[in-house]
């Protein structure tokens, strides 16, 4: 009987501990505004990319693709008033050839102490 009780409390302790670590990690990740620009250069289509932002409040992610001398640049933005993460749809470079294509992402939002943070990343092929 005692053995069973000990087993049960150990299991509960492990479960609660896991949940605590997970929630602190999630809070830690989203308490500051972070952002990443993901780009791909597939062999069989135009180069493409998207932006991902994590943060605490009023977060936006913006991604644009442009190429020198080509007018058709694309921009996409996403917004979330609550924290967590937000990502844009894929934007594609204007031509099949990636050379000269530039991707730019902008990540904005408030951190958990109310400070406005802005990050931007650019990549050029």
* Distances, alpha carbon 63 to alpha carbons 74, 84, 123, in Å: 8, 18, 11
Can residue 124 be called a binding residue for another protein (CB under 8 A)?
yes
Burial class (CB in 10 A: 0-12, 13-18, 19+), 76: middle
Select the span of 6-14, 19-27, 59-67 touching another protein (CB under 8 A): 59-67
**Cα–Cα dist 30/47, whole Å:** 29
Q: Which of 46, 48, 88, 93 binds another protein (CB under 8 A)?
A: 88
Classified as helix, coil or strand, 7 is helix
> Pick from 11, 22, 24, 115: which binds another protein (CB under 8 A)?
115
Residue 95 interacts with another protein (CB under 8 A)? no
User: Where on the chain is the footprint of another protein (CB under 8 A)?
Assistant: 39, 41, 43, 57-58, 60, 62, 64, 66, 68-69, 71, 73-79, 81, 88-89, 98, 102, 104, 106, 110-111, 113-125
């Amino acid at each position: 009987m005692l053995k069973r009780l000990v087993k049960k409390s150990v299991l509960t302790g492990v479960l609660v501990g896991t949940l605590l670590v997970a929630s602190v990690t999630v809070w830690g990740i989203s308490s500051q505004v972070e952002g990443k620009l993901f780009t791909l250069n597939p062999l069989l289509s135009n180069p493409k990319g998207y932006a991902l932002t994590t943060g605490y409040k009023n977060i936006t992610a913006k991604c644009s693709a442009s190429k020198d001398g080509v007018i058709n640049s694309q921009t996409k933005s996403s917004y979330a008033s609550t924290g967590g993460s937000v990502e844009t749809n894929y934007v594609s470079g204007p031509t099949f050839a990636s050379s000269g294509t530039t991707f730019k992402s902008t990540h904005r939002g408030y951190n958990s102490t109310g400070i406005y943070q802005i990050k931007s990343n650019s990549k050029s092929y």
